Structure 1
Amino acid sequence: MTAPATWDPQQYLRHADHRTRPFHDLVARVGELPGGSAPRIADLGCGAGNVTATLAGRWPGARVTGYDNSPQMLERARAYATDLLDFAHADALTWTPSEPYDLIVSNALLQWVPGHAERFPDWLAGIAPGGTFAFQVPGNFTAPSHTILAGLRTSARWRGRLGDAADRSAAVLEPADYLTRLTGLVGPGGAVDVWETTYLQTLRGEDPVLDWVKGTALRPVLTALDSDPEAREAFLAEYAALLREAYPATPYGTVFPFRRIFAVARRSGEAGR
């Protein structure tokens, strides 16, 4: 086993516009919440807190808690704290709601949680009748950005150094699988909406796809090589060259197609369901 990835909020936020768009598209599909003028909301995997803070704009008066297991991300997120918005440490592998929530939302977290679909019953049980569980995850693990990384990581040069770092082979389920699992949990009268979108993201700058994955998929590799800067730079140079071939620059930028999977599950309005 490799050490948990160390997160870099500044690197992650370098592509904030592209990273936050799926969150806004997800929340736009969440309907009325049962908590009246003060719904209780949890953001599971709040990261740097920038998208968590936008929930107050959608639900003024909501009491929102952002949860994350990264000290670096939580330190950055707490800059957004208010009387109605706070942040706390929690690991999605073990977190279970300790009070009823009107909305539990999760943005680009669950791909880092092995077996996350097995947590759905606990999370849905912690949602008030008529409340909602909503999440989005990347669905691009067969894209060149990831297959190249997997091939490089397991090559003769690097497999002894990296082990299973950045292994994303079973990160997420297919949309139909999420639909089936969630439909069985929301109860009669509940509703589940699952869809996917591929964003044709246009990135700019030098080696922009490498810059993107430095904030996410590459974090386990960077963590594993953190104590050896020479090896780290050698890996990045090799990976960057392969990414340039897979994602050639154009006069208007580098196109980086990115598939996302979304799910919005509303519990039955009947207590006990």
Structure 2
Amino acid sequence: MHSEPTWDPHQYLHHAGLRTRPFLDLLARIPNLANGERPARIADLGCGPGNVTALLADRWPSAHITGFDLSPEMLALAEKDYAGATGDGGWLEFQAADAAHWTPDEPYDLIVSNAALQWVPNHPESFPVWVEGLVPGGAFAFQVPGNFNSPSHALLAELCETPRWRGRLGDHGRRYVHILNTDAYLSRLADLGCEVDVWETTYLQLLGGEDPVLDWVKGTALRPVLTELGDDAAAVDDFLAQYRDLLRKVYPAGPHGTVFPFRRIFVVARKS
């Protein structure tokens, strides 16, 4: 039984601008919420440090929005920075919950998830209950990374499987790869009677600083590895040095920075 990774919200936010852009692109395609006289009810699954959850309040200032996350570190920062009254009588709150087991406890106008469902095994099996939990005309929208075959992730998996690390890390380099292809997401949600919009985008991200790809993955893909190595500082340093050298070869720094291509998958499903 693997332990859940320990998250570092400050490390995650090192690249907040680039991490937020896909959510803005998703948000732009979510239809307006037709909620009559009552405030809209919105759930954000895997809200992280709350910075993108707050963008929901910017668009729907009268909505009652709840961000759900499993990480106490992420929730503590989200609560500190964003919880409370928002806009035109709206409210933003955060609660501990595991998206793998979360079910709507009331009708929602929007259930949204940003770069979180790839950590949830069998998350498509929850689509029926999540869609059932939407009001008529409500929307379920999410984006997930689609770059698990990219060099950054392939090299991480290969390093974890070398003799030096296999016994200690096992499959942690590939632990959280739980996404479908775009056709499968479309079919699953269309079968539930939804009007579905699915697309993908590869962002050519230009990163600055020394070893910026390593810095990026320290906030996401490396979390299970760093959690497993724990307080063994020598092992952490050794692993990061090996991984850094591999990344430098495939993501060399150029005159304007380091180009880090990143594919993402987007889905917006509207309930009939």
> Which TM bucket (shorter chain)?
over 0.9
Alignment gaps of 5+ in structure 2: 86-90
Task: Please give the per-residue CA displacement for 1:149-199, whole angstroms capped at 9, x wherever unaligned.
Answer: 0000011110001122131474211001100001011x2xx4100000000
Q: Tell me the distance in 2 between the aligned counterparts of 1:171 and 1:149.
A: 16
Match of 2:25 in 1: 25
The aligned residue for residue 103 of structure 1 is 110
The match for 2:121 is 114
One-letter code aligned to 2:238: A
What is the aligned partner in structure 1 of residue 164 from structure 2?
Answer: 157
Aligned to 2:97: 90
Is 2:17 the counterpart of 1:10? Answer: no
Equivalent-residue separation in structure 2 for 1:229 and 1:73 (angstroms): 23
Give matches, 1:92-241, under 5 Å: 92-168=99-175, 170-185=177-192, 187=193, 190-241=194-245
- Structure 1 runs of 4+ with >6 Å offset: none
Q: What's the counterpart of residue 243 of structure 1?
A: 247
Query: 1:102·1:127 contact (CA, 8 Å) conserved in 2?
Result: yes
Q: 1:19-63: CA deviations, max 9, x gaps?
A: 000001001001121224621000010000001011111112011
- Assess if the C-alpha contact under 8 Å between 2:41 and 2:109 holds in 1: yes
Structure 2 match to 1:67: 68
Q: Give the SS at the match of 2:94.
A: strand
SS in 1 for 2:173: coil
Equivalent-residue separation in structure 2 for 1:113 and 1:49 (angstroms): 19
Q: Is the CA contact 1:30–1:264 (under 8 Å) kept in the aligned structure 2?
A: yes
Matched-pair contact (CA < 8 Å) for 2:141–2:268: yes
Secondary structure at the counterpart of residue 230 of structure 1:
helix
**Equivalent residue pairs, number:** 265
Q: What CA RMSD, in Å, does the superposition of the two structures yield over aligned residues? A: 1.0
Distance 2:71 2:139 in 1: 25
Report if aligned partners of 2:153, 2:173 keep a CA contact under 8 Å in 1.
no
Q: Which amino acid aligns with 1:102?
A: D
Gap change, CA 1:46 and 1:123, over 3 Å in 2:
same
**Using the alignment, how far apart are the partners of 2:207 and 2:175 within structure 1?**
23
How far, CA to CA, are the matches of 2:68 and 2:106 in structure 1?
14
Q: Distance in 1 between matches of 2:269 and 2:62?
A: 23
**Residue number among 243, 249, 259 corresponding to 1:255 in the alignment:** 259
TM-score relative to the length of structure 2: 0.95
